[in-house]
């Protein structure tokens, strides 16, 4: 049932990616590009939509810690995010580059984990590494393409980063590396009979190369990465897993949404407050930059929790589908298919 929920999420994320490419790709054939106000509105909605997928991290980490206080876990999570935000705000472009690279790794590992759960395929190290790089295309390719609005936001976050992203050798290098890894991962997936993995890589590439850079990342973040991760959480959170086991998928979704509601609201309020305090003028570009800075700061503790969760799942012995399904209702892991 948990795999079914993830499959449904994957289908809808693909539809959203295709729709975004069709709506925003008209500039390739001479259709006027979307107005900047519409573009920034889409970006804002995408970033907001992505916030809830990390809003139950404190609950997940508390279960993984096995006995640690929820208050302590939540305080540590918030402290890490606050420290990262301070570094992003005042430590210059080096901290920002480090966090962006870590975010790209996190996004790529997320795609690899989803492909494993959807297909049961466990590729070798080289193919897995190529899949991770290909999976972060919706961040890497928009960064490489830059663009006027993306550059403006990057300059608002860090002028040094904006200059770095504008360097042609870096842009060409990122695209070439991504294309090479995408080809390796896609060919390997097709050879093993997992065409859906290759399809996802193609859609990620199309979104990252065709849609306006900011739109590409925001839509992927809120409508692809967040949706798929939230579907995974349905089998991680014990109450949701129990509801899924009884076939009550809608109730499981409602429960997860309820658990994520207050933390998500807190993050949104923080973004609004920081934007109001730090912006000298009501500048939409600067507001998007501030939201990105907050989201990047939250990505670091979120990434730690997700890595911890995946490691905890991998550490369990492979015992067969029925036993794994039974275990998923009381542990942090969902069942996986055997490798093909």
Annotated binding site for Fe cation: 53, 106, 225, 229
Q: Distance between CA 340 and CA 337 in Å, rounded?
A: 9
Copy the structure tokens of residue 216: 């590409």
Binding residues: 53, 106, 225, 229
Q: Rounded to the nearest 10 degrees, what angle do helices 93-119 and 284-315 cross at?
A: 50
- CA angle at residue 308 from 290 to 329, to 5 degrees? 110
At 146 the three-state DSSP class reads: coil
- Rounded CA-CA distance 311/306 in Å is 8
Cα–Cα dist 114/54, whole Å? 16
108 CB contacts (<8 Å, ≥6 apart)? 131, 132, 133, 134, 135, 136
Asked whether the beta carbons of 232 and 117 are under 8 A apart, the reply is: yes
CB atoms within 10 A of CB 55: 23
19/121 Cα distance (integer angstroms): 28
């Amino acid at each position: 049932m948990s795999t079914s929920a993830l499959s449904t999420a994957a289908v809808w994320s693909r539809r959203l990616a295709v729709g975004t490419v069709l709506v925003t790709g008209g500039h390739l054939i001479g259709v006027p590009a979307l107005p900047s106000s519409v573009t920034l509105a889409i970006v804002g909605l995408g970033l907001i939509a992505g916030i809830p997928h990390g809003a139950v991290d404190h609950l997940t980490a508390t279960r993984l810690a096995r006995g640690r206080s929820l208050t302590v876990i939540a305080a540590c999570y918030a402290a890490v995010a606050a420290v990262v935000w301070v570094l992003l705000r005042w430590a210059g472009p080096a901290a920002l580059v480090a966090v962006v690279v870590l975010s790209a790794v996190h996004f790529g590992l997320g795609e690899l984990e989803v492909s494993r759960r959807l297909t049961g395929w466990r590729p070798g190290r080289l193919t897995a590494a190529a899949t991770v790089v290909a999976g972060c295309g919706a961040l890497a390719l928009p960064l490489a393409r830059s663009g006027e609005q993306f550059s403006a936001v990057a300059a608002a976050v860090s002028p040094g980063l904006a200059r770095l992203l504008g360097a042609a050798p870096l842009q060409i290098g990122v695209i070439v590396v991504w294309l090479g890894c995408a080809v390796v991962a896609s060919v390997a997936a097709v050879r093993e009979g997992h065409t859906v993995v290759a399809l996802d890589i193609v859609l990620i590439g199309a979104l990252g190369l065709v849609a306006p850079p900011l739109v590409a990342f925001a839509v992927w973040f809120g409508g692809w990465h967040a949706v798929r991760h939230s579907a995974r959480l349905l089998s991680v959170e014990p109450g949701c897993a129990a509801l899924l086991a009884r076939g009550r998928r809608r109730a499981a979704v409602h429960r997860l949404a309820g658990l994520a509601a207050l933390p998500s609201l807190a993050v949104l309020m923080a973004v609004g407050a920081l934007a109001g305090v730090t912006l000298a003028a009501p500048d939409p570009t600067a507001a998007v930059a501030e939201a990105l800075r907050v989201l990047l700061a939250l990505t670091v503790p979120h990434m730690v929790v997700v890595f911890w969760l995946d490691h905890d799942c991998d550490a369990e012995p492979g015992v067969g589908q029925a036993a794994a399904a039974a275990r998923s209702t009381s542990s942090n892991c969902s069942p996986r298919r055997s490798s093909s």
